[in-house]
Amino acid sequence: MQEEGLEKRFILNLLEKKLEKDFSYDSGAILGSMCTEPLDVAKEIYLKYISKNLGDPGLFLGTAALEDELICEIGELFGNKNIIGTFTTGGSEANLIAMRIARNLRSDIKNPEVVVPVSAHISFDKAADLLNLRLRKVKLLDNYKVDLNHFESLINKNTCAVVGVAGTTSLGLIDPVEEIGNLVEGKDIFFHVDAAFGGFVLPFLKRLGYQVPLWDFSVKSVGSITADPHKMGLGVIPSGGYFVKDASILQKTGFEIPYLAGGPFKHFHIVGTRPGGPIIAFWVILKYLGINGFNEIVKKCMDNTEYLVQRISEIRGIKLAVDPVMNVVGITTENGVSICELEKALRNDNWMLGKFLDLNLIRVVIMPHVKREHLSNFAVDLEKIVKKLKL
Ligand SMILES: Cc1ncc(COP(=O)(O)O)c(C=O)c1O
Protein backbone atom coordinates (compact mmCIF):
# COMPACT_ATOMS: atom_id res chain seq x y z
CA MET A 1 0.00 0.00 0.00
CA GLN A 2 1.41 3.37 -0.97
CA GLU A 3 1.83 6.22 1.58
CA GLU A 4 -0.32 8.80 -0.20
CA GLY A 5 -3.76 8.39 -1.70
CA LEU A 6 -3.96 8.45 -5.51
CA GLU A 7 -6.19 10.41 -7.82
CA LYS A 8 -9.57 8.83 -8.49
CA ARG A 9 -9.19 9.06 -12.28
CA PHE A 10 -5.82 7.34 -12.13
CA ILE A 11 -7.25 4.57 -9.94
CA LEU A 12 -10.21 4.06 -12.27
CA ASN A 13 -7.94 3.69 -15.28
CA LEU A 14 -5.77 1.24 -13.41
CA LEU A 15 -8.83 -0.72 -12.37
CA GLU A 16 -10.25 -0.86 -15.84
CA LYS A 17 -7.02 -2.37 -17.16
CA LYS A 18 -6.91 -4.94 -14.36
CA LEU A 19 -10.50 -6.01 -14.98
CA GLU A 20 -10.11 -6.25 -18.75
CA LYS A 21 -9.66 -10.02 -18.45
CA ASP A 22 -13.19 -10.48 -17.08
CA PHE A 23 -15.90 -11.81 -19.37
CA SER A 24 -19.03 -9.71 -19.61
CA TYR A 25 -22.60 -10.97 -19.83
CA ASP A 26 -23.44 -8.79 -22.82
CA SER A 27 -20.60 -10.26 -24.91
CA GLY A 28 -22.58 -13.48 -25.19
CA ALA A 29 -19.54 -15.56 -24.22
CA ILE A 30 -20.97 -16.53 -20.82
CA LEU A 31 -23.11 -19.52 -21.74
CA GLY A 32 -22.53 -21.60 -18.64
CA SER A 33 -23.47 -19.41 -15.69
CA MET A 34 -26.59 -19.47 -13.57
CA CYS A 35 -26.07 -15.79 -12.75
CA THR A 36 -26.84 -12.90 -15.06
CA GLU A 37 -26.76 -9.14 -15.38
CA PRO A 38 -29.08 -7.78 -12.66
CA LEU A 39 -32.00 -5.67 -13.74
CA ASP A 40 -31.01 -1.96 -14.05
CA VAL A 41 -33.53 -0.87 -11.44
CA ALA A 42 -32.10 -3.44 -9.01
CA LYS A 43 -28.57 -2.06 -9.48
CA GLU A 44 -29.81 1.47 -8.85
CA ILE A 45 -31.69 0.52 -5.68
CA TYR A 46 -28.84 -1.65 -4.42
CA LEU A 47 -26.41 1.26 -4.66
CA LYS A 48 -28.84 3.58 -2.93
CA TYR A 49 -29.27 1.24 0.03
CA ILE A 50 -25.82 -0.35 0.09
CA SER A 51 -25.22 0.44 3.78
CA LYS A 52 -28.30 -1.32 5.19
CA ASN A 53 -27.22 -4.06 7.57
CA LEU A 54 -29.65 -6.83 8.38
CA GLY A 55 -27.12 -8.33 10.76
CA ASP A 56 -28.61 -5.83 13.22
CA PRO A 57 -32.30 -5.77 12.28
CA GLY A 58 -33.22 -3.73 15.35
CA LEU A 59 -31.40 -0.78 13.75
CA PHE A 60 -32.97 -1.34 10.35
CA LEU A 61 -36.55 -2.10 11.30
CA GLY A 62 -37.93 -0.93 7.94
CA THR A 63 -35.56 -3.15 5.96
CA ALA A 64 -36.31 -6.11 8.26
CA ALA A 65 -40.05 -5.60 7.75
CA LEU A 66 -39.48 -5.41 3.99
CA GLU A 67 -37.62 -8.71 4.10
CA ASP A 68 -40.61 -10.31 5.88
CA GLU A 69 -43.02 -8.84 3.36
CA LEU A 70 -40.90 -10.19 0.51
CA ILE A 71 -40.78 -13.65 2.10
CA CYS A 72 -44.56 -13.63 2.33
CA GLU A 73 -44.87 -12.74 -1.37
CA ILE A 74 -42.43 -15.46 -2.32
CA GLY A 75 -44.36 -17.88 -0.11
CA GLU A 76 -47.46 -17.13 -2.16
CA LEU A 77 -45.48 -17.93 -5.29
CA PHE A 78 -44.26 -21.19 -3.69
CA GLY A 79 -47.63 -22.47 -2.50
CA ASN A 80 -47.79 -21.19 1.12
CA LYS A 81 -47.77 -17.56 2.16
CA ASN A 82 -47.45 -18.38 5.88
CA ILE A 83 -43.78 -19.27 5.66
CA ILE A 84 -40.78 -17.69 7.33
CA GLY A 85 -37.39 -17.28 5.74
CA THR A 86 -34.32 -15.24 5.23
CA PHE A 87 -32.05 -14.03 2.47
CA THR A 88 -28.54 -15.39 2.28
CA THR A 89 -25.34 -14.97 0.31
CA GLY A 90 -26.54 -17.61 -2.15
CA GLY A 91 -27.79 -21.15 -2.60
CA SER A 92 -24.79 -22.72 -0.86
CA GLU A 93 -25.43 -20.85 2.38
CA ALA A 94 -29.16 -21.56 2.16
CA ASN A 95 -28.50 -25.30 1.71
CA LEU A 96 -26.01 -25.27 4.57
CA ILE A 97 -28.61 -23.64 6.84
CA ALA A 98 -31.18 -26.24 5.78
CA MET A 99 -28.83 -29.11 6.63
CA ARG A 100 -27.97 -27.59 10.00
CA ILE A 101 -31.67 -27.28 10.85
CA ALA A 102 -32.31 -30.88 9.80
CA ARG A 103 -29.42 -32.15 11.91
CA ASN A 104 -30.39 -30.09 14.97
CA LEU A 105 -34.05 -31.08 14.80
CA ARG A 106 -32.89 -34.70 15.19
CA SER A 107 -30.27 -34.35 17.90
CA ASP A 108 -31.34 -37.84 19.03
CA ILE A 109 -29.53 -39.35 15.98
CA LYS A 110 -25.88 -40.06 16.85
CA ASN A 111 -24.63 -40.47 13.27
CA PRO A 112 -27.03 -38.39 11.15
CA GLU A 113 -27.41 -39.09 7.44
CA VAL A 114 -28.89 -37.12 4.56
CA VAL A 115 -30.26 -38.78 1.43
CA VAL A 116 -29.49 -36.62 -1.61
CA PRO A 117 -29.52 -37.29 -5.35
CA VAL A 118 -26.04 -37.59 -6.81
CA SER A 119 -27.06 -34.70 -9.07
CA ALA A 120 -27.48 -32.35 -6.09
CA HIS A 121 -25.22 -29.31 -5.87
CA ILE A 122 -21.75 -29.53 -4.29
CA SER A 123 -23.00 -27.30 -1.45
CA PHE A 124 -24.50 -30.43 0.16
CA ASP A 125 -21.02 -32.01 0.24
CA LYS A 126 -19.73 -28.82 1.85
CA ALA A 127 -22.58 -28.87 4.38
CA ALA A 128 -21.89 -32.54 5.18
CA ASP A 129 -18.22 -31.73 5.73
CA LEU A 130 -18.96 -28.76 7.99
CA LEU A 131 -21.78 -30.39 9.94
CA ASN A 132 -20.39 -33.88 10.21
CA LEU A 133 -23.23 -35.46 8.26
CA ARG A 134 -23.04 -38.60 6.15
CA LEU A 135 -24.41 -38.09 2.65
CA ARG A 136 -26.18 -41.09 1.12
CA LYS A 137 -26.17 -40.42 -2.62
CA VAL A 138 -29.02 -41.60 -4.79
CA LYS A 139 -28.15 -43.00 -8.24
CA LEU A 140 -29.62 -41.64 -11.43
CA LEU A 141 -31.34 -43.76 -14.06
CA ASP A 142 -30.13 -43.77 -17.67
CA ASN A 143 -32.44 -40.84 -18.41
CA TYR A 144 -30.65 -38.81 -15.65
CA LYS A 145 -33.75 -38.99 -13.42
CA VAL A 146 -33.48 -39.96 -9.78
CA ASP A 147 -33.83 -43.69 -9.07
CA LEU A 148 -36.70 -43.61 -6.55
CA ASN A 149 -36.24 -47.25 -5.51
CA HIS A 150 -32.63 -46.50 -4.62
CA PHE A 151 -33.78 -43.32 -2.84
CA GLU A 152 -36.17 -45.31 -0.68
CA SER A 153 -33.57 -47.98 0.09
CA LEU A 154 -31.18 -45.35 1.52
CA ILE A 155 -33.68 -44.00 4.07
CA ASN A 156 -33.12 -45.55 7.51
CA LYS A 157 -33.27 -44.76 11.23
CA ASN A 158 -30.27 -42.42 10.92
CA THR A 159 -31.85 -40.27 8.20
CA CYS A 160 -32.39 -36.72 9.45
CA ALA A 161 -33.08 -35.20 6.02
CA VAL A 162 -33.87 -35.92 2.41
CA VAL A 163 -33.22 -33.54 -0.46
CA GLY A 164 -34.94 -33.01 -3.79
CA VAL A 165 -33.69 -30.62 -6.47
CA ALA A 166 -36.00 -28.46 -8.55
CA GLY A 167 -33.67 -27.40 -11.33
CA THR A 168 -30.48 -29.46 -11.18
CA THR A 169 -27.19 -27.68 -11.74
CA SER A 170 -26.22 -29.99 -14.60
CA LEU A 171 -29.46 -30.31 -16.58
CA GLY A 172 -32.19 -28.21 -14.94
CA LEU A 173 -34.20 -31.35 -14.14
CA ILE A 174 -36.90 -31.47 -11.48
CA ASP A 175 -36.68 -34.34 -9.02
CA PRO A 176 -39.94 -36.16 -8.17
CA VAL A 177 -40.67 -33.99 -5.14
CA GLU A 178 -44.16 -35.37 -4.59
CA GLU A 179 -42.92 -38.98 -4.64
CA ILE A 180 -39.99 -38.18 -2.33
CA GLY A 181 -42.56 -36.47 -0.07
CA ASN A 182 -44.53 -39.70 0.05
CA LEU A 183 -41.42 -41.61 1.12
CA VAL A 184 -41.00 -39.44 4.24
CA GLU A 185 -44.66 -38.69 4.99
CA GLY A 186 -45.37 -39.27 8.69
CA LYS A 187 -41.66 -39.82 9.46
CA ASP A 188 -39.61 -37.37 11.50
CA ILE A 189 -37.35 -36.57 8.53
CA PHE A 190 -36.79 -33.02 7.25
CA PHE A 191 -37.49 -32.59 3.52
CA HIS A 192 -35.54 -29.80 1.84
CA VAL A 193 -36.00 -28.78 -1.79
CA ASP A 194 -33.11 -27.03 -3.52
CA ALA A 195 -34.71 -24.71 -6.07
CA ALA A 196 -31.76 -22.29 -6.10
CA PHE A 197 -32.07 -22.14 -9.87
CA GLY A 198 -35.65 -23.30 -10.48
CA GLY A 199 -37.34 -21.22 -7.79
CA PHE A 200 -37.70 -18.18 -10.01
CA VAL A 201 -38.38 -20.15 -13.19
CA LEU A 202 -40.93 -22.81 -12.29
CA PRO A 203 -43.79 -20.62 -10.97
CA PHE A 204 -43.69 -18.70 -14.25
CA LEU A 205 -43.23 -21.74 -16.49
CA LYS A 206 -46.40 -23.13 -14.95
CA ARG A 207 -48.29 -19.91 -15.64
CA LEU A 208 -47.01 -20.04 -19.22
CA GLY A 209 -48.67 -23.43 -19.64
CA TYR A 210 -45.59 -25.69 -19.44
CA GLN A 211 -45.93 -29.04 -17.65
CA VAL A 212 -44.44 -28.48 -14.20
CA PRO A 213 -44.64 -31.26 -11.61
CA LEU A 214 -45.31 -30.32 -7.99
CA TRP A 215 -42.08 -29.13 -6.38
CA ASP A 216 -42.91 -26.52 -3.71
CA PHE A 217 -44.79 -26.11 -0.40
CA SER A 218 -47.92 -27.49 -2.04
CA VAL A 219 -46.27 -30.87 -1.35
CA LYS A 220 -47.20 -31.44 2.29
CA SER A 221 -43.90 -32.86 3.51
CA VAL A 222 -41.67 -30.14 2.05
CA GLY A 223 -40.13 -28.37 5.05
CA SER A 224 -37.92 -25.81 3.35
CA ILE A 225 -36.87 -24.43 -0.02
CA THR A 226 -33.77 -22.70 -1.36
CA ALA A 227 -34.44 -20.19 -4.19
CA ASP A 228 -31.93 -17.59 -5.30
CA PRO A 229 -32.72 -14.05 -6.46
CA HIS A 230 -29.19 -13.75 -7.92
CA LYS A 231 -29.91 -16.52 -10.42
CA MET A 232 -33.17 -16.32 -12.42
CA GLY A 233 -34.55 -13.65 -10.06
CA LEU A 234 -32.31 -11.10 -11.81
CA GLY A 235 -31.21 -9.81 -8.43
CA VAL A 236 -27.81 -8.45 -7.48
CA ILE A 237 -25.05 -10.67 -6.11
CA PRO A 238 -25.15 -11.78 -3.31
CA SER A 239 -28.74 -12.84 -2.85
CA GLY A 240 -29.86 -16.34 -2.09
CA GLY A 241 -33.09 -17.25 -0.37
CA TYR A 242 -34.07 -19.76 2.30
CA PHE A 243 -37.74 -20.38 3.06
CA VAL A 244 -39.21 -22.53 5.84
CA LYS A 245 -42.75 -23.80 6.31
CA ASP A 246 -42.83 -24.20 10.08
CA ALA A 247 -42.12 -20.91 11.91
CA SER A 248 -41.40 -22.69 15.20
CA ILE A 249 -38.17 -24.03 13.66
CA LEU A 250 -36.54 -20.64 14.17
CA GLN A 251 -37.25 -20.80 17.90
CA LYS A 252 -36.01 -24.39 18.06
CA THR A 253 -32.82 -24.06 16.03
CA GLY A 254 -31.97 -20.34 15.58
CA PHE A 255 -28.85 -18.74 17.04
CA GLU A 256 -29.56 -16.23 19.84
CA ILE A 257 -27.59 -13.01 19.19
CA PRO A 258 -27.57 -11.05 22.45
CA TYR A 259 -25.17 -8.12 22.01
CA LEU A 260 -26.55 -5.99 19.18
CA ALA A 261 -27.20 -2.25 19.41
CA GLY A 262 -30.67 -2.80 17.99
CA GLY A 263 -31.51 -5.48 20.57
CA PRO A 264 -31.27 -9.27 20.77
CA PHE A 265 -32.77 -11.51 18.13
CA LYS A 266 -32.65 -15.00 16.72
CA HIS A 267 -31.44 -15.99 13.29
CA PHE A 268 -30.43 -18.97 11.15
CA HIS A 269 -27.38 -17.37 9.57
CA ILE A 270 -23.78 -18.38 9.21
CA VAL A 271 -22.91 -14.72 8.63
CA GLY A 272 -23.47 -11.87 11.08
CA THR A 273 -23.37 -8.63 9.11
CA ARG A 274 -25.78 -9.18 6.24
CA PRO A 275 -26.42 -6.90 3.26
CA GLY A 276 -29.90 -5.37 3.14
CA GLY A 277 -29.31 -3.78 -0.28
CA PRO A 278 -29.85 -6.95 -2.36
CA ILE A 279 -33.06 -7.73 -0.47
CA ILE A 280 -34.47 -4.24 -0.96
CA ALA A 281 -33.47 -4.53 -4.63
CA PHE A 282 -35.33 -7.83 -4.95
CA TRP A 283 -38.44 -6.37 -3.31
CA VAL A 284 -38.28 -3.69 -6.01
CA ILE A 285 -37.80 -6.29 -8.78
CA LEU A 286 -41.02 -8.10 -7.80
CA LYS A 287 -42.92 -4.81 -7.79
CA TYR A 288 -41.33 -3.66 -11.05
CA LEU A 289 -41.76 -6.84 -13.09
CA GLY A 290 -44.85 -8.39 -11.55
CA ILE A 291 -45.88 -11.88 -12.62
CA ASN A 292 -46.28 -10.77 -16.25
CA GLY A 293 -42.77 -9.30 -16.40
CA PHE A 294 -41.26 -12.54 -15.09
CA ASN A 295 -43.45 -14.56 -17.47
CA GLU A 296 -42.07 -12.56 -20.37
CA ILE A 297 -38.45 -13.05 -19.32
CA VAL A 298 -38.89 -16.78 -18.74
CA LYS A 299 -40.76 -17.16 -22.06
CA LYS A 300 -37.89 -15.51 -23.93
CA CYS A 301 -35.38 -17.82 -22.24
CA MET A 302 -37.50 -20.85 -23.17
CA ASP A 303 -37.89 -19.70 -26.79
CA ASN A 304 -34.12 -19.35 -27.00
CA THR A 305 -33.73 -22.76 -25.38
CA GLU A 306 -35.92 -24.29 -28.09
CA TYR A 307 -33.89 -22.49 -30.74
CA LEU A 308 -30.64 -23.95 -29.42
CA VAL A 309 -32.22 -27.41 -29.15
CA GLN A 310 -33.14 -27.18 -32.84
CA ARG A 311 -29.64 -26.07 -33.85
CA ILE A 312 -28.01 -28.89 -31.87
CA SER A 313 -30.30 -31.45 -33.50
CA GLU A 314 -28.84 -30.37 -36.87
CA ILE A 315 -25.22 -31.09 -35.85
CA ARG A 316 -24.02 -34.66 -36.42
CA GLY A 317 -21.73 -36.07 -33.73
CA ILE A 318 -23.37 -34.44 -30.72
CA LYS A 319 -26.81 -34.71 -29.13
CA LEU A 320 -28.90 -33.41 -26.26
CA ALA A 321 -28.40 -35.27 -23.00
CA VAL A 322 -32.14 -34.84 -22.30
CA ASP A 323 -34.98 -32.72 -23.62
CA PRO A 324 -34.74 -29.56 -21.50
CA VAL A 325 -37.55 -28.97 -18.99
CA MET A 326 -36.30 -25.47 -18.31
CA ASN A 327 -33.68 -23.14 -19.73
CA VAL A 328 -30.73 -25.49 -19.30
CA VAL A 329 -29.34 -27.47 -22.23
CA GLY A 330 -26.96 -30.41 -21.74
CA ILE A 331 -24.90 -31.47 -24.76
CA THR A 332 -23.11 -34.80 -25.03
CA THR A 333 -21.45 -36.80 -27.80
CA GLU A 334 -23.46 -39.17 -29.98
CA ASN A 335 -20.98 -42.04 -29.68
CA GLY A 336 -20.15 -41.57 -25.98
CA VAL A 337 -16.64 -40.22 -26.62
CA SER A 338 -15.34 -37.83 -23.93
CA ILE A 339 -16.66 -34.28 -24.03
CA CYS A 340 -13.33 -32.86 -22.82
CA GLU A 341 -11.77 -31.98 -26.18
CA LEU A 342 -14.96 -30.28 -27.33
CA GLU A 343 -15.17 -28.24 -24.15
CA LYS A 344 -11.52 -27.23 -24.44
CA ALA A 345 -11.89 -26.19 -28.08
CA LEU A 346 -15.00 -24.14 -27.30
CA ARG A 347 -13.20 -22.44 -24.42
CA ASN A 348 -10.30 -21.60 -26.75
CA ASP A 349 -12.87 -19.87 -28.94
CA ASN A 350 -14.10 -17.95 -25.88
CA TRP A 351 -17.33 -19.90 -25.40
CA MET A 352 -17.57 -20.40 -21.65
CA LEU A 353 -19.78 -23.38 -20.84
CA GLY A 354 -20.30 -25.53 -17.76
CA LYS A 355 -18.60 -28.95 -17.81
CA PHE A 356 -19.91 -32.05 -15.99
CA LEU A 357 -17.39 -34.84 -16.43
CA ASP A 358 -19.36 -37.40 -14.38
CA LEU A 359 -22.24 -37.10 -16.88
CA ASN A 360 -19.96 -36.44 -19.87
CA LEU A 361 -21.79 -33.28 -20.84
CA ILE A 362 -21.30 -29.61 -21.41
CA ARG A 363 -24.10 -27.32 -20.36
CA VAL A 364 -25.56 -24.08 -21.65
CA VAL A 365 -27.76 -22.05 -19.33
CA ILE A 366 -30.02 -19.81 -21.37
CA MET A 367 -30.07 -16.88 -18.98
CA PRO A 368 -31.74 -13.56 -19.85
CA HIS A 369 -28.39 -12.14 -21.04
CA VAL A 370 -28.09 -14.90 -23.67
CA LYS A 371 -29.53 -13.57 -26.91
CA ARG A 372 -30.62 -15.34 -30.10
CA GLU A 373 -27.63 -13.99 -32.06
CA HIS A 374 -25.21 -15.28 -29.40
CA LEU A 375 -26.73 -18.75 -29.77
CA SER A 376 -26.64 -18.55 -33.54
CA ASN A 377 -22.92 -17.68 -33.51
CA PHE A 378 -22.30 -20.38 -30.92
CA ALA A 379 -24.06 -23.03 -33.03
CA VAL A 380 -21.90 -22.15 -36.06
CA ASP A 381 -18.67 -22.48 -34.03
CA LEU A 382 -19.94 -25.62 -32.33
CA GLU A 383 -20.62 -27.32 -35.66
CA LYS A 384 -17.19 -26.35 -37.01
CA ILE A 385 -15.42 -27.71 -33.94
CA VAL A 386 -17.44 -30.94 -33.88
CA LYS A 387 -16.49 -31.53 -37.53
CA LYS A 388 -12.83 -30.73 -36.89
CA LEU A 389 -12.70 -33.09 -33.92
CA LYS A 390 -14.50 -35.76 -36.01
CA LEU A 391 -16.91 -36.54 -33.16
C1 LIG B 1 -29.18 -26.26 -7.68
C2 LIG B 1 -28.17 -25.37 -7.06
N3 LIG B 1 -28.13 -25.23 -5.72
C4 LIG B 1 -27.24 -24.43 -5.12
C5 LIG B 1 -26.32 -23.71 -5.84
C6 LIG B 1 -25.32 -22.83 -5.14
O7 LIG B 1 -25.63 -21.50 -5.29
P8 LIG B 1 -24.56 -20.36 -4.98
O9 LIG B 1 -23.52 -20.48 -6.02
O10 LIG B 1 -25.37 -19.12 -5.07
O11 LIG B 1 -24.03 -20.60 -3.61
C12 LIG B 1 -26.32 -23.82 -7.24
C13 LIG B 1 -25.36 -23.08 -8.05
O14 LIG B 1 -25.33 -23.12 -9.24
C15 LIG B 1 -27.27 -24.67 -7.87
O16 LIG B 1 -27.29 -24.85 -9.19
93, 96, 118, 121, best to mutate for ligand 1 pocket (most atoms within 8 Å of CB): 121
The pLDDT tens digits along the chain (391 residues) read: 999 999 999 999 999 999 999 999 999 999 999 999 999 999 999 999 999 999 999 999 999 999 999 999 999 999 999 999 999 999 999 999 999 999 999 999 999 999 999 999 999 999 999 999 999 999 999 999 999 999 999 999 999 999 999 999 999 999 999 999 999 999 999 999 999 999 999 999 999 999 999 999 999 999 999 999 999 999 999 999 999 999 999 999 999 999 999 999 999 999 999 999 999 999 999 999 999 999 999 999 999 999 999 999 999 999 999 999 999 999 999 999 999 999 999 999 999 999 999 999 999 999 999 999 999 999 999 999 999 999 8
Tell me, what's the pLDDT at 91? 98
- Ligand 1, atom 16, residue with closest C-alpha: 169
Residues near 247 by beta carbon (within 8 Å), at least 6 away in sequence: 82, 83, 84
pLDDT at residue number 5: 97
Using CA positions, which residue lies closest to atom 15 of ligand 1?
A: 169
Q: What is the pLDDT at residue 17?
A: 97
Residue 363 CB less than 6 A away from ligand 1: no
Query: What CATH architecture is 40-287?
Result: 3-Layer(aba) Sandwich (3.40)
pLDDT at 296: 98
Closest atom of ligand 1 relative to the 167 alpha carbon: 1
Cα Rg, the chain, nearest whole Å: 22
Query: 175 in ligand 1 pocket by Cβ < 6 Å?
Result: no
Q: What is the pLDDT of residue 268?
A: 94
Centre of ligand 1 to C-alpha 273, Å, is 21
- Rounded distance between C-alpha atoms, residue 117 and residue 129, angstroms: 17
Beta bridge partners of residue 86, listed in sequence order: 242
Is the CB of residue 130 less than 8 Å from the CB of residue 160?
Answer: no
Distance CA 191, CA 302 (A): 29
Question: Ligand 1: which atom is nearest the Cα of residue 93?
Answer: 11
Q: Using the 8-state DSSP alphabet, how is residue 164 labeled?
A: E
Residue 234's pLDDT is 98
- Number of Cβ within a 10 Å radius of residue 147: 15
pLDDT for the residue 333: 97
Domain boundaries along the sequence of the chain:
17-38+291-388, 40-287
Say if strands 190-194 and 159-165 run parallel, antiparallel, or are unpaired: parallel
Give the torsion through C-alpha atoms of 27, 28, 29, 31, to 10 deg: 150
Task: Tell me how far the alpha carbon of residue 240 lies from the centroid of ligand 1, in angstroms.
Answer: 9
Ligand 1 pocket, 86 CB below 6 A?
Answer: no
- Cα of 262 vs centre of ligand 1, distance in Å, is 32
Ligand 1 atom at minimal distance to the Cα of residue 195:
1
| Residue 238 CA, ligand 1 centroid: distance in Å | 12
| Residue 197 in contact with ligand 1 by CB distance below 6 A | yes
Q: Decide: 80 and 217 in contact? Cβ < 8 Å.
A: yes
Write the residue with the smallest CA distance to atom 4 of ligand 1.
Answer: 91
pLDDT of residue 321: 97
Residue 214: predicted pLDDT: 98
Ligand 1 atom nearest residue 90's Cα:
10
- pTM, entire model: 0.97
Q: What is the pLDDT at residue 29? A: 96
Determine the pLDDT at residue 278: 98
Q: How far apart are CA 202 and CA 301, in angstroms?
A: 12
Which residue is closest in CA terms to ligand 1's atom 7?
A: 91
State residue 135's pLDDT score: 98
Distance 351 CA to ligand 1 centre (A): 21
Rounded Cα–Cα distance for residues 308 and 70 (Å): 35
CATH class of 17-38+291-388: alpha beta
